[in-house]
Amino acid sequence: MILFKPQSKVQKDRKVMHDTDSRLAKFSGRGLIVNVFTYFLCLSIGDLTSIAPTTTVALTTGLIITALIRGFFLARFEQIYSTGPSRWRTMFFIATLIGASWWSVILVVSTLTLGMSGETPLLWFYTIIFFATTIHATSPYRVFSQVYLLITLLPPVFAAFYVGGVQSYTYSVMMLIFLGLLLHLVNSLCHGYWERLEANYALKQKTISLEVEKRGIDASVDLNSQFLVNLGHEFRTSLNDILGGLSLLTDSKLDSHQHELLQLAQKAGERQLDLVNNIVDFSRITNRTLILDHSVFNLRSQLELWITDIAVNAHQQAVEIDYDMHYEVPLRVHGDAKRIGQIFKNLLNNAVQFSEHGNVFIDIDFKRESEKGGCLEVLIVDRSSSVRTVNQDATEADNGARTKGLWFTICKGLSECMNGSIDVDSAPGKETQYRLRLPLVAAQQSISINSQPKLRDKKVLVIAPELPVGRFHLEEMQEWGMILNHAPDYEAAYQKLLDAHEKGTPYNMVLVNLFQNVDAPLSFSQRLLTQFHEHPIPQVYLLSYNHLNERSVRLLVDENESVSFHYRPISPQSFHDLIAFNLLGKPIADEQVLNQEHLGAEDFSVLVVDDHRVNQMVAQGMLKKLGYHVRLAGNGLEALQEFQNRQIDLILMDCQMPEMDGFETTRRIRQIESENASNQRTPIIAMTAHVGDEDQSQCFACGMDDYIAKPVKYDTLQGHLLRWLGNSINDEELT
């Protein structure tokens, strides 16, 4: 009798049959243990041992032998199955039927010897329960299951009829009914099991065919996308040479006109780099291949960092940036920080670009919609638009240009990928408003500044004759319990300071918002230093980034300990720390350091691995400018020789090279380190023009520690070196 013969494609599928047989073996193993345990339990509480001891020994010996045989096939399931699934299945079926026959013998002997008394009813009820709970595991093999049931359950029925009596007839009839139900259930379960797998198999095959069709349809689109990505790689490689070479010229002895031309060339190169990035992003958005990163990051610090970065260029265009970040904005959110920053900085850059000697205000709020998150709402207002009404035609052209261009299309596409939106309201003679809404996952968080209690009742004189910014900071100072007084100009401020000193209620600090005119505030500051030379009043200046180009401002700050400064805009926590430092002497983050020296850079050796000679020259020039020893390698094989023969502290690794690429080189370096059994791990930073998400993943997967996209900027390279070699400022200042 053939107990199982594969008929359909599913039954011939090796994986499907392995899962089915594995399931059968698992339940059989459990049943085997329970059978032996139940048998010995019945012997211990029953009468068979005392009535027929010889028979009991024979039954026990047979049960143990059959259990060991079945256990052998179950314990070595994977080993035997790998040599031949049908071979294991046949041997398992035979062993199981032998075990079932012997269990039937136990039931028959118990019934004939004890009748329906002693342990016999227990063995019968256990057998019924056992088959009721395990039939679903054996049912895929219909013929085997039916034979298994008949061999085990039919002989005890005949034995009960032979014994006779009402109780025996009742048990035998119940067992026959149960046997008939199980045989019917086996047919149903077997049919349903294979039918379900057939449907799943057909669905998978259909899915595969659809995927093949989709790949064929997307082939041309992928070709265009790949072309743009490759084009971007080539542009990045060229721009790396251009921007790197220009950055090395910044320390050269050039006159002012040459410096101006150099800055123009650098900005043009950076615009080309932005264009390349935008084209690649546009291609990914249109092809729906953009992969968003989902990670936890500090939203508040990132927003402050992005605003500070753009404030440098804004100050160069005489544009002031002010912002208010509501306390509802959470610290940690779950999202794509890089893409959110790209949208935010593009919108803010556009507002600054079209703002003529004006003020750009940013209102940042978070509307919580549930405990798990809400919507980030950013409103950027260009207030200079409301006063530009002289040339209406030019104004309308500017307003139209705000929403035109590739940058806006990309920002809109990115925001929609995040289920957000961007709107720009621009009309002649009115404020221009940029509205960004992005849903973010963020838990409930309590955001507050722990202000110094000793700041309460401290008197501060605020001098801001042209101040359109900082209103929210002044409100915060009042919330800290500080006493604020305002002076309309510097002469009035000087008089107020003198009057307060004479009355015995002197001011504890002077806060000055410094704009374009520096002569009046510097004269005022010198008068204060002269008048109160014995007990100098702390002076805090809020500056734009180009104020320190004024030699007089720099000298004032450098030569007087009571004079300090901070760039605008300023975050609430930084503002609090600045005030606390000047009034209470509390330490603050070193955000005001004018020059940061590199300590010990000459003690480190950096290996540059790149097959492009110009890239080597650019990287070498930047590294020497930073003070590092530099070694060069043109491919992976040369890099391995350098690594094995010299002391290398850090490696800058290109990815695509002849002979041996950067990925394989990194893997071999990590292998060498593991074979040396030392805990030393040389930092390897990828330096490549490939900027896709999959490229970054491949870099980290092969053992690289960090990633720099070409073209490499001087400050970017500097920050990565400091982070990994730790020879200068603290990590907190780099992040």
The pTM of this model reads 0.50
CATH number of 601-734: 3.40.50.2300
> Cα(572)–Cα(478) distance, rounded to whole angstroms?
13
Element (H, E) at 380: strand 373-382
Identify the band that residue 7 occupies on the pLDDT scale cut at 50, 70 and 90.
Answer: confident
| 382/229: higher pLDDT | 382
What's the sign of the alpha-carbon dihedral 308, 314, 316, 320?
A: negative
Give CA separation, 656 vs 340, 651, 664, 705, 716, in Å: 30, 15, 10, 17, 21
Whether the per-residue pLDDT at 593 is higher than 50: the answer is: no
Whether the per-residue pLDDT at 291 is higher than 80: the answer is: no
Residue-wise pLDDT tens digits, 30-42 = 888 988 998 898 8
| Ranges assigned E (strand) in 478-552 | 483-487, 509-513, 539-543
Strands 332-335 and 295-298: antiparallel
Identify the band that residue 277 occupies on the pLDDT scale cut at 50, 70 and 90.
Answer: confident
Name the packing angle between helices 14-45 and 120-138 (round to 10°).
170
Residue-wise pLDDT tens digits, 694-726 = 677 788 888 898 888 877 877 788 888 887 886
Residue-wise pLDDT tens digits, 423-482 = 888 776 678 889 999 999 887 766 666 778 888 888 998 886 555 456 677 778 888 888
| Ranges assigned E (strand) in 465-612 | 483-487, 509-513, 539-543, 563-567, 605-609
Residue-wise pLDDT tens digits, 133-176 = 888 888 888 888 889 899 999 999 999 988 888 888 998 899 99
SS3 709: strand
Residue 615 has a pLDDT of 80
Residue-wise pLDDT tens digits, 627-672 = 899 999 989 999 999 998 888 999 999 988 888 889 999 999 988 8
Task: Give the CA angle between residues 724, 727, 729 to the nearest 5°.
Answer: 95
Whether the per-residue pLDDT at 75 is higher than 60: the answer is: yes
Residue 589 contacts residue 327 (beta carbons within 8 Å): no
> Cα(25)–Cα(376) distance, rounded to whole angstroms?
55
> Cα(123)–Cα(159) distance, rounded to whole angstroms?
14
What's the sign of the alpha-carbon dihedral 130, 132, 135, 136?
A: negative
* DSSP summary character for residue 654: -
> Cα(186)–Cα(144) distance, rounded to whole angstroms?
10
What's the sign of the alpha-carbon dihedral 178, 179, 180, 184?
A: positive
CATH topology of domain 295-441: Heat Shock Protein 90 (3.30.565)
Give the distance, in angstroms, between the CA of residue 2 and the centroid of all CA atoms in the same chain: 56
Residue 378 has a pLDDT of 94
Phi-psi region of 344 (alpha: psi -120 to 50; beta: other; left: phi over 0): alpha
Return the CA Rg of the chain. 40
Residue 691 has a pLDDT of 61
> Cα(148)–Cα(179) distance, rounded to whole angstroms?
11
Whether the per-residue pLDDT at 29 is higher than 90: the answer is: no
The domain defined by 453-584 carries CATH number 3.30.413.10? no
Whether the per-residue pLDDT at 187 is higher than 70: the answer is: yes
Token duo for residue 37: 């345990």
Phi and psi, residue 604, nearest 5°? -115, 145
| 596/365: higher pLDDT | 365
Residue 349 has a pLDDT of 87
Residue-wise pLDDT tens digits, 496-541 = 889 988 888 899 999 888 776 778 888 888 888 888 888 888 988 8
Whether the per-residue pLDDT at 735 is higher than 70: the answer is: no
Residue-wise pLDDT tens digits, 544-563 = 777 766 778 778 888 888 88
Name the packing angle between helices 53-75 and 14-45 (round to 10°).
160
